[in-house]
Amino acid sequence: MPITFQALFAPSSLALKFAAKTVLGGGLALWLAMRLGLEQPSWALMTAFIVAQPLSGMVVQKGLARLAGTVVGTCMSVVFIGLFAQTPGLFLLTLALWLALCTAASTQLRSAWAYAFVLAGYTAAIIALPAINTPLQVFDQAVARCTEICLGICCATLTSALVWPLRVEQQLAGHARQALDNGLQAARAMLAGEDDAGKGLLQTLGGLVAIDAQREHAWFEGSRGRQRARAINGLSQKLMVLLRIARSVRRQWRQLDEAESAHQAPWLSEVREQLAAADQPSWLVLRQRIWDAAHDERISSAEHYCLARLALLLDYAMAASQALDDVEQGRAPKQAVQSLAAHRDLSLALLFGSRSALAFLVMSGFWLATAWPSAPGGLILTCVVCSLFASRENGAQIGLSFLRGILLAVPAAFVVGQILLPQWSSFAMLCLGMGVPLFLGALGMAHPRTGATATSYCLHFIVLVAPLNAMQFNVASMLNNALAMLVGVSAAVMAFRLVVLRHPAWLGRRLRAATQHDLVRLTRRDLRGADSWFGGRMADRLMQLARHASELPEAERKRWDDGLHGLDIGDELVHLRMCLAVAQVRLGEAERQYLQQVQAVLASGPGPGRGDRLNAASDQFIAALRQQPADDPLRLAIGAVLQLRNSWSKWCRWQEQSHGFA
């Protein structure tokens, strides 16, 4: 209750501006729809609230995605009615398959454009279901819905861009600086051995994924926004590599004996102090000093590799700092940088799609069995909730928030639509009657904790009031529609509750298998963009594994360490291949044979008793490297081979300790 009270009666200035813009855009869309004589002006008003976002670029991108999805869904609704109007059972089955396909596609596409697939799914249901009794009018209804939705998108986008515009690209600089500070702090903790659990790493990865999502929105805010979006790509990649190198330094540090550790401890302490200072000129001087110390002939090869990795750490710290300057100045990086890749699971997406189809078919069976005239409204809401939230881990909780929003909308809609509006006339009085409840709802939409309930309240309030040029007031019809909404959302929530797809142990096994597959591909993948490809996918997996670790039994809560071990092996593998690529000699057959053996070992997966499978191949390849003329890349390659072997052995030992030798 205090959160709701704060959102409604003590809002921030940004929340007030957002609510005012949302209501203004919705009012403009409603007025134009009525002036143009559209059949259902409420769809224009609802669309303005659906695409409402606090930032201008977010509204533009969401509006474009909604527009694309609406057009596709409109076309498919006409096709479905044209083909299956005479066979209701086959029509509902086809619509369920379409909904499942769109839900699966939205799960696979990890960007804001996934919303287009969501819209394509439930727009087909919105248009086709009411037209099943009048199939000859489906084209007119499709054109009308598409026109109303496009009008709402245009009005919301125009209002957001002109009234108190708040641009995404203006906030990217602050978020980017925070990401860099968190990354440097996590690197310092790793160097000191304070972050063996990977908490700082996961926090930083979460921040990078968050600003990468905002980067997409900034793309729609002019040339400066696009330049900053490109610079964010560079910063994300540099920070991911920086974190992996920090872990590599700590792994190498554990390989040093007591005397070597004492000898190199001042360098490690100085690097940690300089990372806290965040001064590029000092980093450059320290980097040169460390590089000179690495070429001291009196140190061991293990010390040389450790110092070289410290120098490389400072290189990427300077590169990340330069990328931050590019973001702040709105300057694109000189070299093109690939976007972060995302982890995708096709089988999981198909399961999410199946859950949507199952909920739709159950509700369809209820409609066919009861012939309830208001059932199509509930069926449409089942489609909407399933399309939006079937792939969410907290889909049931969001569905319950939608139920709360409906329960709040029913009495408000009854007072406004059945008591006040019958006594009032004119568009101004309609705006007064609907504007006050919608303004309060928009204030709730601006608060993250009440956003889902407030959004549901606003949308269903509009549906129940149903503003038209010639208003119709019928209490029985309104209550029937409200009951159908409750039944439709309840069906979706029950599907989310009963069909639980993400069992933590099962998910952990799938993510480890995906990590192994990527490691195998990393042995032969083109090195250009390999960091962005592997780092982005591993960031997704690490966050998923950490998020589900608390749901596992106490003995299995460290299963997500599989991801950290895979991250370490991938880092050493990329570093090894880069060293071999820049070496002045070409090893040819020896390199090819070694990578093939690494690929075979990684494909078999870690397990008890498998820790020595890389030993013979590593020793043979190191001997081949030492036969070549000595240079820095080859010395670093030798260190990478040793670390790769040690990381593999550690992963196998961890499997034995966690699950037993059997």
pLDDT confidence of 437, banded at 50, 70, 90? very high
Cα–Cα distance between 198 and 47 in angstroms, integer? 42
Cα–Cα distance between 245 and 312 in angstroms, integer? 8
Nearest to 115 by CA among 124, 126, 103, 125: 103
- Ranked by mean pLDDT, which of 162-171, 281-290, 336-345, 380-389 comes out on top? 281-290
Cα–Cα distance between 537 and 205 in angstroms, integer? 11
What is the average pLDDT score of the chain?
A: 81
SS in 3 state form for 45-78? Answer: HHHHHHCCCCCHHHHHHHHHHHHHHHHHHHHHHH
Structure tokens at 547: 């998020």
Query: What's the average model confidence in pLDDT over 90-112?
Result: 85
pLDDT digits (tens, 9 = 90+) for 233-245: 788 888 888 888 8
The pLDDT of residue 54:
63
Cα–Cα distance between 104 and 391 in angstroms, integer? 8
CB atoms within 10 A of CB 140: 12
Nearest to 232 by CA among 251, 209, 198: 209
Structure tokens at 245: 């190198």
Say if CB 188 and CB 45 are below 8 A apart: no
Is the confidence at residue 198, as pLDDT, over 80?
A: no
Q: Please, which residues have CB within 8 angstroms of residue 6's CB and are 6 or more apart in sequence?
A: 447
pLDDT confidence of 193, banded at 50, 70, 90? confident
Tell me the residue type at 213: A
Q: State the residue for tokens 């549906």.
A: 463
Cα–Cα distance between 543 and 566 in angstroms, integer? 14
* Topology at the third CATH level for domain 171-329: Methane Monooxygenase Hydroxylase; Chain G, domain 1 (1.20.58)
CB atoms within 10 A of CB 497: 12
Q: State the residue for tokens 């498998």.
A: 610
Is the confidence at residue 468, as pLDDT, over 70?
A: yes
Q: State the residue for tokens 């007072």.
A: 415
Phi (first) and psi of residue 482, to 5 degrees: -65, -40
The pLDDT of residue 412:
92
586: left (phi over 0), alpha (psi -120 to 50) or beta: beta
pLDDT digits (tens, 9 = 90+) for 214-270: 676 666 666 777 777 778 878 888 888 888 888 888 888 888 888 888 888 888 888
CB atoms within 10 A of CB 105: 17
pLDDT digits (tens, 9 = 90+) for 173-192: 777 888 888 888 888 888 88
456: left (phi over 0), alpha (psi -120 to 50) or beta: alpha
Residue extents of the structural domains in the chain: 2-166+345-498, 171-329, 525-659
Alpha carbon 214 to its chain's center: 10
pLDDT confidence of 132, banded at 50, 70, 90? confident
The pLDDT of residue 662:
45
pLDDT digits (tens, 9 = 90+) for 407-420: 899 999 999 988 99
Say if CB 518 and CB 537 are below 8 A apart: yes
pLDDT digits (tens, 9 = 90+) for 584-606: 677 778 888 998 999 998 888 88
Q: What CA–CA distances, in Å, run from 185 to 73, 196, 221?
A: 47, 14, 32
pLDDT digits (tens, 9 = 90+) for 43-82: 888 888 887 776 655 667 777 787 888 889 888 988 988 8
- Mapped onto helix, strand or coil, the DSSP state of residue 164 is coil
Cα–Cα distance between 255 and 260 in angstroms, integer? 9
Q: What CA–CA distances, in Å, run from 649 to 120, 246, 365, 567, 568?
A: 49, 20, 56, 14, 12
Cα–Cα distance between 378 and 618 in angstroms, integer? 63
- Mutual angle of helices 138-162 and 13-35, in 10-degree steps: 140
Cα–Cα distance between 435 and 446 in angstroms, integer? 16
Least confident of 300-304, 318-322, 616-620: 300-304
Q: How much of the chain exceeds pLDDT 70, in percent?
A: 87
Is the confidence at residue 143, as pLDDT, over 70?
A: yes
Full DSSP string of 217-231: HHTTSHHHHHHHHHH
Is the confidence at residue 613, as pLDDT, over 50?
A: yes
Alpha helices in 466-588 (DSSP H): 475-498, 504-522, 530-549, 561-582
Phi (first) and psi of residue 232, to 5 degrees: -60, -35
Nearest to 99 by CA among 357, 285, 331, 300: 357
Is the confidence at residue 31, as pLDDT, over 90?
A: yes
Provide the 8-state DSSP code for 137: G
